[in-house]
Each structure stands twice: as structure tokens, then as C-alpha cells.
Amino acid sequence: MSAQEIANKLWNLCNVLRDDGVTYHQYLNELTYILFLKLSEVKDFEKHIPEEYRWRSFVEDTNNLAAFERYKNFLVNISSTSTSNAIQEIYTNAATSLRKPVNFNTLVQSIDDLDWYEEQDRDVMGDIYESLLEKNAGEKKSGAGQYFTPRPLINVAIELMAPKLGERWNDPACGTFGFMIACNDYLRSKHNEYYALSKKDREFQLQEAFSGVELVQDAHRLALMNARLHGLESTIYYGDTLSDFGKQLKGYDGVLANPPFGTKKGGEKPNRDDLTYLSSNKQLNFLQHIYRSLKTDGRARAAVVLPDNVLFEDGDGQKIRKDLMNKCDLHTILRLPTGIFYAAGVKTNVLFFTRGKTETKNTKQVWFYDMRTNMPSFGKRTPFTRKAFHGFIKAYTGGITEETLTAYDGSIDHKKRATIQDERWQCISRADIRAKNDSLDIGLIADESITKAEDIGEPIDIAKEALAEIKAITKELNKIIKALG
């Protein structure tokens, strides 16, 4: 059975539990608790779990009520009694959403019956779990999409950043740890020497090469599980990057991130005393944290997903963009299509930059690629796939195509970039950006369709206008009906 088939089977089990009042998001948490017990048997680390709570004891218990009570006790006690840090973190504040013992038994027996290996004996538990995370992100009522970045975007960003063995990479708002797991997958697929590493170097790759921070406890739990299922023992902090805690996050060779959109509660500013410009806009603070967390060796690099307001906001926004372009070579901005993230209508971009050795004048020009103008409306009918990035990949790399991308080393050659003929690709000098008060809300194709779209607003505004018109018409009809008596 393929990973996708198993994921579909597990996901469909949620429908069985709906009469138990379990939401999709709660179900995924429940699966995480139970799958980790199965994982402990498959990966042979049951010694960290008391015998009465081990997987086989639940599978073989024919008394549903007794097994369920034992499971609830396990969730309450295991984080304080286990000697394993991973187990302690995954089960911190864990509590079951199930109410019926029979439903717990259904989950246990269904999971135990599944074949967790493909025909070629490949362990697919990580693939299955990631598929479940993606399905959960697609359930808009769960709110999970706010921390799930589309897989095609993650993979392309990583391939263009070209991580190397021995480097330290971080995601300061890691969600379910997708960026870092994909980084590790990239290194395993690209470098044959990955499998010939010394014990010390292999431990570095599995334990230290990738790290992350997540503020939401449920997401943090999913991130820990996701990393474990992919063979990583990475440090994933449960904390707030924009608090004093974030000051220790520095010296990285690379950062990949999709920080959460919005402002801090109450609009207050973070209490970091190492950030020069403190804003109530979380994305501006994350951006500032990210470029300051990179090594100043001229090679440390980042790719960060940010909304349009970061490109044009005045005040601190302008100061932070100027600081970014001084400290880093902001060489590329990808203007993404709308509608590919959870919040409908949010316009986003990916900023690609390299930290300079000096503190000033590192950005000489910025290349923009417009993937927004005259693009399809991505959704269930038109999936957002890797195909959408083919033109951008060729422009970014200065001529390397999708088929030969594995040979790309991450270097930026402005002369080669200038040879690319693509109406979506244009270079704007630092002087011209400065003349626009350091606004980066540029680089879109001047197209009549854009003007028309902007005039009528986002989809939510269209819906509001239509509703207002319907109400007005209904009011007039009621007047006519009343007059006709």
C-alpha cells in the first residue's frame, strides 16, 4: 500500500469519529499521540515507555474501557515520567479528544493493521504523516493552513538556496517543520556522500544541522512528530522568536521561513532589545530577526515568505527595508500569486537575500519576478504545482532549466540573469528603489487586467458589494409589493 493510500485511509477514519465530536485538527493531534506509540515499536525505542503503556499492550487488550482508561493515564503521566526528551515534549499537556472507548480501539486496530512499508521496504511513515498535515491544512475550519507552506514553494526555495552538508539552517517560525525536513531530504537526494558520513558528521546532520521555533503548542507537537518520523532529532524550541528567547538564535548559514501574518496581540511591540526597529507588525520584526541571525561571512542566505505590506509600509517598515538592503544583498523578490495560502486574498512574496560581510551598501540591484499578473486562480480546480515555477527557476539561475537544476550551486550571476528574456523578469537598481522611498512594492507587469482587478478590490470586497446590492434590491421590491397591497 502506498503512502498516499495509507494517509487517505487514516484521514477517512476521522469521519468515523465525527459523532464523537472530534474535529479534524483534534483528530490529527490524537493520531500523533497514538502514532508515536506505534513508532516506538517500529523504531525500537519502547524502552523509554513503561511496559503497561507500550503499543502491543493496547493492541491486544480486548477490554475497550480498560484500554481507554489506561491510554488517558498514559497521556497525563508520560511527559513527567519518561526519560526521553522527545517523548516529554510530544506529550506535554496532552489530553484525548475521544470520549468513546470503542473509537480509541478502532484507531489502534486500524493503525496496527496498516503496512507501513512499500514494496521496496521503504519506510513511509514520514510521508504519510506529512500527507496528513497537508490534508489538515486544507481543512480551512481547522485554521491549520496558516502554518502550512505549499510543498512546491518549499522545494523550489530550498533548491535555489542550495544547502550544503555541515551547514546550520533555522526556521524561526517553523510550523510543522516542513522547510527543515525538506532541506534534509534535499541533501540526502543530492549528495551521495550523505550516506558515507562519519558518525560525528551524521550526528551533526540529524541533531544540529536543522532547528526551529514554534509558538503554538499543537503545531510544536506536530513539528516534533514530523521531524521524528523523518529520522531527525532536531532541536525544535517551543517559544517566541520575537521575545528575549530569540536573541540566542544566531550564527546560521541559512534561514528558510514563512512567518505568521498579523500583529501581536493588542498591537504591542516585542521586548527584544537587540532589534533596532521594533514594530507592532510581526513580519517586519521577523524579517529583521532573520537577517540579523545570519553569519556575516558573505555566504549565509535566506528565503522568506512575506506579505505585500512589508514591501511598502512606511515608518519602521521603510527603515527595516533600508537596513536589510544595507546589511544584505537582496538580490531577488518573487511576487507570488494570490490564493495559495490559507487566508484568501493575501498577497505574498518570497525575499531571497545573502548576508554581507559589511554593514552597508550590499544591495546594488534587485531582480523581480512577477508570478502574479495574468496567472491562474489556484485552488482545487487548478492545483498550485511546481510547473508554475519553471520560468522563475530559469530566470533566477541565469539559464538553468528545471531538468538541470540539480547541478545548481546557489550562486547569483547578475550578468547571466540579464540574458534571460522574460516579460515577468526585471532588474531595478538600488538608486531607483531609493528614489521610491525604499519601497519594494514594484516589479509587477503593467497590465490592464491588474488595474481592473485592483479597482474592484479583493474577493471579500466583491462579495460585500454584491450582498449590499442584493439587500438594496430586496428593499425596493418590498416597497413595491407593499404599494401594490
The residue ranking higher by pLDDT, 109 or 28, is 109
Cell digits for 257? 521561513
With beta carbons less than 8 A apart as the criterion, state whether 420 and 431 touch.
Answer: no
Handedness of CA 84, 86, 92, 95 (dihedral sign): negative
DSSP 294: B
Residue 413 sits in the same domain as residue 369: yes
With beta carbons less than 8 A apart as the criterion, state whether 211 and 177 touch.
Answer: no
pLDDT (0 to 100) of residue 29? 86
Has this prediction a pTM greater than 0.75? yes
Range name among 4-18, 309-323, 324-338 with the lowest pLDDT average: 4-18
Spatial separation of the C-alpha atoms in residues 51 and 64, rounded to whole Å:
18
Residue 21 counted as domain residue: yes
Residue 173 sits in the same domain as residue 125: no
Residue 472 sits in the same domain as residue 413: no
Residue 373 sits in the same domain as residue 479: no
Q: Region 121-129: what's the mean pLDDT?
A: 70
Residue 31 counted as domain residue: yes
pLDDT tens for each residue of 73-84: 999 999 888 878
Residue 409 counted as domain residue: yes
Residue 171 sits in the same domain as residue 104: no
Residue 189 sits in the same domain as residue 72: no
Residue 451 counted as domain residue: no
214 — pLDDT class (breaks 50, 70, 90): very high
pLDDT at 450 over 50: no
| Continuous segment of H or E residues that includes residue 291 | helix 282-292
Of the chain, the percentage scoring pLDDT greater than 70 comes to 84
Range name among 208-217, 322-331, 380-389, 430-439 with the lowest pLDDT average: 380-389
Residue 207 counted as domain residue: yes
DSSP 143: T
Count of domains forming the chain: 3
With beta carbons less than 8 A apart as the criterion, state whether 333 and 368 touch.
Answer: yes
pLDDT tens for each residue of 134-161: 777 766 544 444 546 888 999 999 999 9
Residue 110 sits in the same domain as residue 157: no
Residue 430 sits in the same domain as residue 468: no
- DSSP conformation letters of 153-219: HHHHHHHHH---TT--EEETT-TTTHHHHHHHHHHHHH-GGGGG--HHHHHHHHHTSEEEEESSHHH
Residue 142 counted as domain residue: no
pLDDT (0 to 100) of residue 465? 45
Residue 405 sits in the same domain as residue 467: no
Cell digits for 317? 517598515
Q: Region 356-377: what's the mean pLDDT?
A: 95
With beta carbons less than 8 A apart as the criterion, state whether 15 and 36 touch.
Answer: no
Exposed/middle/buried for 319, CB within 10 Å: 0-12, 13-18, 19+?
Answer: middle
pLDDT (0 to 100) of residue 420? 97
Cell digits for 413? 550571476
Tell me which residue range forms the domain holding 70.
3-133
Q: What is the rounded end-to-end Cα distance, in angstroms, of the chain?
A: 69
Residue 90 counted as domain residue: yes
- DSSP conformation letters of 39-60: HHHHTT-GGGS-GGGSHHHHHH
* Domain's final residue, options 100, 133, 166: 133
With beta carbons less than 8 A apart as the criterion, state whether 152 and 388 touch.
Answer: yes
Residue 366 sits in the same domain as residue 464: no
pLDDT (0 to 100) of residue 481? 62
pLDDT tens for each residue of 264-307: 554 556 778 889 898 888 999 999 999 999 999 999 999 999 99
- Put the strands of the sheet holding 425-429 in their side by side order: 235-238, 210-214, 169-171, 254-257, 301-307, 348-355, 328-335, 365-370, 425-429
461 — pLDDT class (breaks 50, 70, 90): very low
pLDDT at 447 over 80: no
SS3 151: helix
Range name among 54-68, 256-270, 338-352 with the lowest pLDDT average: 256-270
Range name among 9-23, 237-251, 316-330, 370-384 with the lowest pLDDT average: 9-23
* Domain's final residue, options 108, 133, 158: 133
Q: What is the CATH number of the domain that holds 51?
A: 1.20.1260.30
pLDDT tens for each residue of 66-106: 999 999 999 999 988 887 888 888 898 999 999 899 989 99
Residue 302 sits in the same domain as residue 407: yes
For the stretch 431-438, contacts whose Cβ atoms lie closer than 8 Å and that sit 24 or more positions apart, written own/partner, are 433/325, 433/366, 437/314, 437/318, 438/318, 438/321, 438/322, 438/325
Residue 452 counted as domain residue: no
Interior CA angle at 23 toward 21 and 26, to 5°?
110
pLDDT tens for each residue of 218-257: 889 989 988 988 889 999 999 999 999 999 999 999 999 9
Q: Which of 167, 323, 359 is nearest to 254 (CA)?
A: 167
Q: What is the CATH number of the domain that holds 331?
A: 3.40.50.150
Residue 129 sits in the same domain as residue 161: no
Q: Region 356-363: what's the mean pLDDT?
A: 97
